[in-house]
Amino acid sequence: MPNIDRRQALKLLAALGVTGLASACSIGTEDDPDTGGDLVSDVPIRIGLIVPQTGGYKPIGDEMLNGFQLYLDNNQRRLGGRPVDLVIADEGETPQSGQAAVDSLLQQNVLALTGVANAAVMLAIRDAVEQAQVPLVGSNASPRSLQSVVYIWRTSYVSDEPGVALGGYLAQEISRNGEVTIVAADQPAGRDLVQGFREGFGTGDDRISAPVIWADSTPNPGRDTFADPIEELIDRDPEAVYCFFTGSAAVTFIRQLRDAGYDGPIYGPGFLTEGTVVDELGEEASGIITALNYSADLDNSANLLFASGYRKRYGASPTTYAMASYDAAQVLDKAIRTAGAGVNAQQLNLALGRLGQIDSPRGSWQFNQPRTPQQKWYLREVLRDGPVLSNVLITELATLG
């Protein structure tokens, strides 16, 4: 058919009812970006997306939803050649609300689950997912203690890894007699990020020997929430601060820290300056250095496509939350196609283990044995990029996973 393209040919064959011939034709390869949109079956598959739609984690949930929706829109709302019925459940901000979201989705016979922003929620739903034998492709929360799972995969990271990557770098930057004060939200992710930072820096290093300052973990802090931790930090007069907060908590902590007179360097995992944090802080965010598995200015073909599409649709630069959710959709797309037309949850789970390299906006990665990515980590600094402040890629730090 020299005068019509491949997709037109498929439509013609479908109209004629020649399904056998369509199946026999070479429709594309795994490396062809159009392959994900080719119709394999007109029977929809149901995917459950668990993201915060209320509460303090909602901005992260919105990013995760945006990333997943962008992939679907780029692929004719199909995964593995099948139309997708996407069911969204509100994770909220507590383990109880997250468990309720998962329970509601499992009752709707979803083929797979994805999402989950909060580490405490991920730990709470572990047993329900494993018992249901429905694969969960998590796209954010990934606590270090989540081990020996069969049906839980993650396209994000293990939550101690940003600390490991940054700790090794910072150990070379701090003077021999300097001190780094560690401040973190007292929650599972905070504890993992502190432990990872200590391991990366050197557990026995005197420069990080002072006790960790643990702070309130509320996602919606008030004016005085961080007063005591900041007072203790200022009294120590450290050479640098390593801290973990996200979203509105990050904005409040950094603003109060600056107001208290601290003008030294601030380091943290990339979540510290992701999303709208830099926009809200303005110049108060300038110079903050973070480690993350993604930067919106990475120069690779997958990211050029993803980031430009994201900016066009949502009017903002993409975050790691959006990127990992986009990749979760890509992973499901490939695994559903690999499993075949009659795919069920157990077959899909087996297919997830056979995917190999994923061509991602963060750079290529693959699942390791614990079902998390083996991937690169990057150093970023909040700098003026033209007329705006943004997280600017400085260098590659390490490959972990």
- Does 5 score more than 90 pLDDT? no
Residue-level pLDDT at 25: 30
- Does 359 score more than 50 pLDDT? yes
Contact 144, 192 (CB under 8 A): yes
**Confidence category of residue 341, pLDDT binned at 50, 70, 90:** confident
Residue-level pLDDT at 41: 77
Q: Averaged over 300-326, what is the pLDDT? A: 97
Residue-level pLDDT at 226: 96
d(CA 325, CA 69): 9
Q: Averaged over 166-171, what is the pLDDT? A: 97
Contact 80, 43 (CB under 8 A): no
Q: How far apart are the first and last CA of the chain?
A: 47
d(CA 3, CA 276): 48
Per the DSSP assignment, residues forming a β-bridge with 385 are 388
Nearest to 147 by CA among 370, 385, 386: 370
Mean pLDDT of all residues belonging to the chain: 90
Nearest to 302 by CA among 243, 356, 357, 242: 357
pLDDT digits (tens, 9 = 90+) for 113-140: 999 999 999 999 999 999 999 999 999 9
Name the H helices within 144-274: 161-173, 188-201, 227-236, 247-259
pLDDT digits (tens, 9 = 90+) for 37-86: 466 678 899 999 999 999 989 999 999 999 999 999 999 999 999 999 99
Residue-level pLDDT at 28: 34
Q: Averaged over 384-393, what is the pLDDT? A: 90
Cα–Cα distance list, 126 to 120, 129, 149, 361 (Å)? 10, 5, 8, 28
- Does 35 score more than 50 pLDDT? no
Nearest to 285 by CA among 257, 305, 310, 312: 257
Whole-prediction pTM: 0.87
- Give me the percent of the chain exceeding a pLDDT of 90: 85
Contact 46, 107 (CB under 8 A): no
DSSP code at position 329: H
Between 296 and 385, residue with greater pLDDT: 296
* DSSP reduced 3-state for 34: coil
- Give me the percent of the chain exceeding a pLDDT of 70: 90
Residue-level pLDDT at 39: 65
d(CA 357, CA 386): 34
**Domains, the chain, ranges and CATH?**
31-157+299-367 (3.40.50.2300), 161-292+379-400 (3.40.50.2300)
d(CA 274, CA 295): 10
Rounded (to 5) percent helix, strand, coil in the chain: 45, 20, 35
Which run of H or of E encompasses 384?
strand 373-385
Residue-level pLDDT at 181: 98
Which run of H or of E encompasses 244?
strand 240-244
Kindly give the pairing relationship between strand 373-385 and strand 388-400: antiparallel
Cα–Cα distance list, 22 to 13, 274, 286, 333, 351 (Å)? 6, 45, 56, 20, 24
